[in-house]
């Protein structure tokens, strides 16, 4: 008799619990917050905002059922030193991950590769110190800088990616740099079609990056 009498009470309790908020369901923490941090290649030089890399990559990832926002924090002309000077305030609290793309202007200006590497490493350390994951995008020195400079500059990115265990995309202009129809009139910066090529090639790395962020926050 006691068992039978307890059944209705148990049913009511179970119903009430299904209506209560709390740890019974996984919380929806909203979209993953990503910052695209870099120079004109990130900012989208001479492109409307919707054609820049952060916007195109966000759209491609959303089409793959990824819930995220990529904020464009690219500044045309930035060197690695300029990026280091602004990283603390350009990447707000609440950021889950940063796509780090800097160094092209260092190479164009002939800045010592060792200095570029130190600056990039300090940016990475500051971001990781704040619990922010980093996807590192590589750059290659132009041929006119000479083989000695290239040999010192080009390995920087993989060396840092290996040292800090980062997701890594080796060369941002892969598939674009030799294609005139994928660049604007200056022959250096990608046009919207060029950014689409970069986005398509980078997408698998970006998805792994989001998986890593998800694993770190769960």
Per-residue pLDDT of 55-107, as tens digits, reads: 999 999 999 999 999 999 999 999 999 999 999 999 999 999 999 999 999 99
* 182 CB-side CA count, 13 A: 14
Give percent of the chain above pLDDT 90. Answer: 85
Q: What is the mean pLDDT of the chain?
A: 91
Residue 165 has pLDDT above 90, yes or no: yes
Q: Give me the pLDDT at residue 28, please.
A: 60
Q: How far apart are CA 118 and CA 193, in angstroms?
A: 33
Mean pLDDT of 143-158: 98
Alpha carbons 108 and 97: distance in angstroms, whole number: 28
Q: What is the pLDDT of residue 29?
A: 74
Using pLDDT thresholds of 50, 70 and 90, give the confidence band for residue 216. confident
Average pLDDT over residues 117-145: 98
pLDDT value of residue 8: 52
Above 70 in pLDDT, residue 6? no
Distance CA 75, CA 42 (A): 8
Name the residues annotated as catalytic.
40, 186, 189
- The DSSP result for 182-208, as a single string, is GB-TTSSSB-HHHHHHHHHHHHHHHHH
Please give the backbone phi and psi of residue 216, each rounded to the nearest 5 degrees, phi first: -70, -30
Return the C-alpha torsion angle 39, 90, 163, 207, nearest 10. Answer: -80
Residue 217 banded pLDDT, cuts 50, 70, 90: confident
* Burial of 1 per CB tally in 10 Å (0-12, 13-18, 19+): exposed
What whole-number distance in Å separates Cα of residue 87 and Cα of residue 201?
26
CATH code linked to domain 28-217:
3.40.50.1110
Instruction: Indicate left, alpha or beta for 31 from its phi (over 0: left) and psi (-120 to 50: alpha).
Output: beta
**Helix (H), strand (E) at residue 125:** helix 113-129
pLDDT value of residue 153: 99
Answer positive or negative: Cα dihedral of 18, 19, 22, 26.
Answer: positive
Whether residue 52 has pLDDT greater than 80: yes
**Model pTM greater than 0.85?**
yes
Confidence class for position 43, pLDDT limits 50, 70, 90: very high
């Amino acid at each position: 008799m006691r068992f039978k009498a307890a059944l209705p009470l148990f049913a009511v309790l179970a119903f009430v619990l299904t209506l209560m908020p709390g740890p019974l369901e996984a919380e929806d923490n909203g979209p993953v917050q990503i910052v695209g941090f870099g120079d004109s290649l990130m900012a989208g030089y001479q492109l409307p905002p919707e054609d820049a890399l952060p916007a195109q990559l966000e759209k491609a990832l959303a089409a793959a059922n990824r819930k995220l926002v990529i904020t464009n924090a690219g500044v045309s002309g930035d060197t690695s030193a300029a990026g280091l000077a602004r990283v603390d305030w350009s990447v707000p609290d609440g950021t889950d991950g940063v796509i780090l793309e800097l160094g092209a202007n260092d190479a164009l200006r002939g800045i010592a590769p060792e200095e570029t590497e130190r600056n990039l490493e300090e940016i990475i350390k500051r971001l990781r110190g704040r619990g922010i994951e980093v996807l590192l995008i590589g750059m290659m020195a132009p041929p006119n800088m000479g083989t000695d400079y290239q040999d010192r500059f080009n390995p920087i990115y993989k060396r840092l990616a290996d040292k800090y265990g980062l997701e890594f995309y080796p060369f941002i202009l892969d598939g674009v740099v030799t294609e005139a129809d994928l660049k604007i009139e200056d022959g250096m910066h990608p046009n919207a079609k060029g950014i689409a090529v970069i986005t398509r090639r980078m997408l698998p790395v970006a998805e792994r990056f989001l998986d890593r962020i998800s694993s770190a926050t769960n």
